[in-house]
Amino acid sequence: MYDDHQIKKVFASVVLFSLIAFLVYALLPYIGAIFGAVIMYVVFSPLYKKLVHEVGFSKGVSAVLIILGTLILVIIPSIFVIKTVYSEVMPAISNIDLLLENIQSLSNIIPGIEFDKVVSQEIGSLGASTSGFVVNTASSLGGILVNMILLYFMFYYLLTLSDESKKKFISLSPFNRRNTHALVVEFKNVTHTTIVVSGIIALIQGAIISVSFMFFGIPGAFFWGFIAAIFSFLPFVGPHLIWIPIFILKLLQHDYSVAFVFLVIGIFLSSLDGIIRPPLQKEMGNIHPLVSLIGAFAGVPIFGLLGIIIGPLLLCYLLLMIRMYKEEYLDDE
């Protein structure tokens, strides 16, 4: 028989988890902003501490400077890049009939390879990345603005949160102090590793674009390589926003050999992330390649750009918490 204390404990647990489930459901549209704020805190907290403790700025001033820096260095250049690439890409795609004729000509020169299917798939991805981005941005501008405001408000308060408040928050963990510390360390490890690996991949893809442009004498090699590096961080955009316009241009100019080279380069760039990310994350952060792949596949459809980080992070957390739960609550039975 259960006594009154056990019945109340079960009832309190049901109410607690029901409220948590409801809160998660209510915050689901903003979950990307919440995770984004936490990830930005992990990345920029060392700089924040330097500004406060070494430079001597106040907590509020240091947080505002970092927020302004991220807005200037990330958002504004990204908007400029999207506008630039969109204006370059769409005129070429609009001449679709001539483009398809030239793709067929390229297929006739090199039989056995269905270039039309490959190119159609990449162009479809390109169209979704450009026009789809603009349409979705215009139609959901309010939601994007709310998410951005929430992200930066959380980011600000996470930076300026006192050490005492952080300790109280961490104390809510259902695990002991050692395992809770392991969770915090794992969060930092996965976040830093994923960001560093993404940066390495971006540099490699940008360098390949720059070298290819220089080799064929295409103007703005370093500029477009820089843009390709930026877009390599975006899983639904990627470097194909850079190489496909050149491929299309060379087709329309009947320069089939250069068009073929850029097609091969583009296919290689599109597969590069999946090839080198898992072993790099294994080497740098001891993250198993399967965790990287499965986490990214699960995270990207839900969280978009942040899914590359959030997916593996949540999977690592799940595996770690299963191990901790087993150690604390099952092994002693």
> Among all chains, which residue has been given the structure tokens 């593996």?
312
Which one is predicted more confidently, 133 or 322?
322
User: Residue 91 to residues 6, 94, 248, 262: CA-CA distances in angstroms?
Assistant: 70, 5, 11, 19
Least confident of 165-169, 258-262, 283-287: 165-169
Q: Which of 85-89, 98-102, 172-176, 270-274 has the highest mean pLDDT?
A: 270-274
> DSSP labels for 21-47?
HHHHHHHGGGHHHHHHHHHHHHHHHHH
Distance (Å, rounded) from C-alpha 333 to C-alpha 157? 42
pLDDT band for position 87 (cuts 50, 70, 90) = low
Where do runs of H (alpha helix) occur along 140-176?
141-160, 163-170
32: which 2 tokens?
């990307």
Per the model's pLDDT, the better-predicted residue between 163 and 57 turns out to be 57
Let me know if 193 is exposed, middle or buried by CB neighbors in 10 A (0-12, 13-18, 19+): buried
What span, in angstroms and rounded, lies between the C-alpha atoms of 133 and 140? 10
Of 123-137, 190-204, 214-228, the least confident: 123-137
Average pLDDT, the chain: 75
Q: What is the mean pLDDT of residues 62-69?
A: 91
pLDDT > 90? residue 65? yes
Q: 135-152 pLDDT, tens per residue?
A: 444 445 566 677 788 888
Q: How does pLDDT run across 9-48, given as a tens digit for each residue? A: 778 778 888 888 888 888 877 877 887 888 788 888 889 9
pTM: 0.67
Q: Give the residue extent of every domain in the chain.
A: 83-153+162-330
Confirm if 315 and 295 have CB atoms less than 8 A apart: yes
Kindly state the helix (H) or strand (E) to which residue 272 belongs, with its residue range. helix 256-285
Q: Do 272 and 204 meet the contact criterion of CB atoms below 8 Å apart?
A: yes
* Pick from 98, 97, 114: nearest CA to 106: 114
For 122-161, b/e burial (b = at least 16 CB within 10 A) is: bbebbeebbeebeeeeeeeeeeeeebeebbbebbbebbbe
